[in-house]
A and B are shown apart, each in its own frame.
Chain A
Amino acid sequence: MQALTNRAKQVDAEPLSFWERLYLPGIAKGMLITLKHIFKKKATINYPEQKRPFSSVFRGLHVLNRDEEGRERCTACGLCAVACPAEAITMEGAERKKDELHLYREEKYAARYEINMLRCIFCGLCEEACPKDAIYLTETFAPANYTRSSFIYGKPDLLIPDPVAQPEDFERAKGKLEEHKANQRAKKTD
C-alpha cells in the first residue's frame, strides 16, 4: 500500500543491538526531550481565570434580538427552523393584539420559540436564514448542566434584555456596563 505521507516508518523487527540493550542512553535521550519542554511556551491556559479571546466568526449560544425600541424582531416565519439541519428549532406564531404594539415589531410574532441545545450543532444557518435580523449566535457557549431538560432554551432564555425597559441589563449583556454607568454619571453632572 502506498503511504499517504512520507512520514511512515517501516517497523524494524531486528533484535536490539548491545548499545540499545544497555537502556540508559535511551532514557537519557527521552529525558532530554522532556526537559526541553519545561522551557517551552505552554500550550494551555488556566481556564476560567484566564480566557482566550474568541475569533470574530465564533458561533456560540443564540440570542433573539430586539430593535432599538425594545420590540421583538422575530415574526415566527419559520425560516430558521427550515434551515436548521439538526431540526433543533421549533416555534409557534401568534397575532399581535392592539395593546401589544410596543412588544412586537410586526403583526405576527413568535409566541413560543424553542431551541433544543442538545440537538443544535452551532452551524449558524439559522442566523443566515433569518430575514428579520432576529436570531444571532453570540460569543458564549452553552453552559454545562446535569439535566437534559435544562438544555431546552425557550424565549426567556434567548431574548436579549430590553434596551428601553432594562438599560442596565442590556449594557451588562453587551459587556459595557461600566462604560454605560460612566456615561450616565457624566450626564448627571452636566
Chain B
Amino acid sequence: MSEAPKLVSVVIDNITVQVPPGTSILQAARTIGGEVAPPAMCYYTKLKGSGGKCRTCLVEVSKGSNADPRPMPKLVASCRTNVMDGMEVKNITSARVTDARNGVVEFLLLNHPLDCPICDQAGECHLQDLSYEHGKEGTRYEFHRRTFDKHDLGPYIQLHMTRCILCYRCVFVADQITNKRVHGVLSRGDHSEIATYIEKSLDNDFIGNVIDVCPVGALTDRTFRFKNRVWFTKPVDAHRDCPKCSGKVTLWERGKEVLRVTARKDQWGEVEEWICNDCRFEKKHIDDWVIEGPTKINRHSVISQGHYVGVVKPKETFSAVHDGSKPKLLMNIHSVSEVNRPEIDLSAIPGPATSDVFNETPKKS
C-alpha cells in the first residue's frame, strides 16, 4: 500500500500551488493558468522527450528550494525543469524573462518567412500569437533567409520546410504514435531540415497527427490547402464510430461543406486524442459524422470573429401585418454572386483548387 505522494508547494509569480513532485515548472504553471503559464513552442504534454528546444518557456528561478535556497544562475527552460519544495519561480514578473523571451522570438523569426497571408496555419498559429505578443516589428537580420523547396509528404501532407522552427514535435509523433518512423531531421545547424529519408511517403494510419502538433505552418493538410481561411470556417465537435481511433474530432465547416477535420485541442493547443488518417482526410461529408455542437473557441481568437453567441433576433412582424404574405425578395445574392457557387464542391477536391476548378463551365442540370 503506497501512500499518495506528498505534494510540494511552488510559488510561481507570487501564486502558490501544490503539485506532486516530479512535475515540471511549466505544468505547475499551467495548473494556475492564464498568463502565468509560459508559452511553449516545442514542448508537448503527450509526447515523451519533447521540450527543451525552442527556449520560449524560459523562467527565472529566484529560490531553488527550501533545502537549497540559492537562485539558479541562468534562466531555465520550464518544460524540462522539475519543481522542488519551496521553489520560487518568476515568469511574467521578471524583466529578465521578458527580455530573454523577446530575444528568443526574434531568433525564431530569423528564418521564418512572412507568408502568413498565404499560410493555412494563420489564425491558429502559435508562432503568430507568440510574435504578436513579444515580437518586434522589424528584424535586425541582414542576410537572406534560409529557403527550401516545398514538397509533398505523401498525398495528404505538405511540408513547407522554410516555415519550420525545428521543434521536433512531428518526429516524436512519428516515433511514438506510429510504429515506424520514416522522417527525421537531416543535416545540422542552419541546414537542418525535416525530410523523409529519400522522399519516402509516410503511409501510416496516424501520421496525419503531425499536422496538428506542428506549431507553425510547416506541415499542413493538403486536402484543406487554400480552400478557405481558418477564421471563415465554423468549428463543430463531432464523432463517428471509427475502428482505428476514438473518432472524436472537430469539423471545420463552411455552410454544409466539411473543409477540414482536425483532432480536438485543449486550451494549450494540444491534441486531446489522436485521430487516424481515415477520419482526418477521407471523411469530408457531413453525413459521415454525428454532430455534437459548436466547439468552444477563446473569444480573443480570430476564429471566433463573426460567431455571435446568445443572439436574440427580433420577431419578424412583416407577415403578421401583411395578411400572412411573405416579404418580397428584391435580389437573391446567389443569382448574381460568383463566390461559393453550389456546383463547386471544394471539400470533394483532393488537393488545392486551381483555375481549372473555377473556370470550368457549369454543368447543365
**Separation of A106 and B357 alpha carbons in the complex (Å):** 19
One digit per residue, 1 when the CB lies within 8 angstroms of any chain A CB and 0 when it does not, for chain B 334-365 equals: 01111110000010000111111110000000
A78-B229, A79-B117 known; A95 vs B358 contact (CB < 8 Å):
no
Give residues 101-150 of B contacting A (CB, 8 Å): 115-118, 122
A79-B117, A94-B354 known; A154 vs B335 contact (CB < 8 Å):
no
Chain B residues contacting A106 (CB-CB under 8 Å) are 115, 117-118
User: Which stretch of A2-10, A42-50, A108-116, A180-188 is in the interface?
Assistant: A108-116
**Separation of A96 and B354 alpha carbons in the complex (Å):** 7
Question: Are B354 and A97 touching (Cβ within 8 A)?
Answer: yes
Number of residues from A at the complex interface, CB < 8 A: 31
Kindly identify which residue among B305, B335, B346, B353 contacts A82, using a CB–CB cutoff of 8 Å.
B305
Question: Are A95 and B338 touching (Cβ within 8 A)?
Answer: no
Question: Are B338 and A112 touching (Cβ within 8 A)?
Answer: yes
Chain B residues contacting A96 (CB-CB under 8 Å) are 354
Closest to B302 in A: A82
The secondary structure that dominates the A interface is mixed
The secondary structure that dominates the B interface is loop
Question: Are B229 and A152 touching (Cβ within 8 A)?
Answer: no
B231 touches A (CB below 8 Å)? yes
Question: Are B336 and A108 touching (Cβ within 8 A)?
Answer: no
B284 touches A (CB below 8 Å)? no
Closest to B117 in A: A77
A61 touches B (CB below 8 Å)? no
**Separation of A62 and B6 alpha carbons in the complex (Å):** 67
Size range of the chain B interface in the assembly: 20 to 34
Chain B residues contacting A149 (CB-CB under 8 Å) are 331, 335-336
**Separation of A116 and B229 alpha carbons in the complex (Å):** 20
Nearest chain B CB to A94 CB, angstrom units: 5
A111-B358, A112-B339, A112-B358 known; A94 vs B330 contact (CB < 8 Å):
no
Chain A residues contacting B228 (CB-CB under 8 Å) are 78, 92-93
One digit per residue, 1 when the CB lies within 8 angstroms of any chain B CB and 0 when it does not, for chain A 97-141 equals: 100100000111001111010000000000000011000000000
Give residues 31-82 of A contacting B (CB, 8 Å): 75-79, 81-82
Can you list 25 A-B pairs with a CB-CB distance of less than 8 A?
A77-B117, A78-B232, A82-B232, A82-B305, A82-B306, A87-B306, A90-B337, A90-B340, A93-B353, A94-B358, A95-B352, A95-B353, A97-B354, A100-B355, A106-B118, A107-B118, A108-B118, A108-B226, A111-B355, A114-B338, A114-B339, A148-B331, A149-B336, A152-B333, A152-B337
Query: What is the interface of chain B, defined by CB distance below 8 A to chain A?
Result: 115-118, 122, 225-229, 231-232, 302, 305-306, 330-331, 333, 335-340, 346, 351-358
The 3 A-B residue pairs whose C-beta atoms are closest, nearest first, are A77-B117, A78-B229, A95-B352
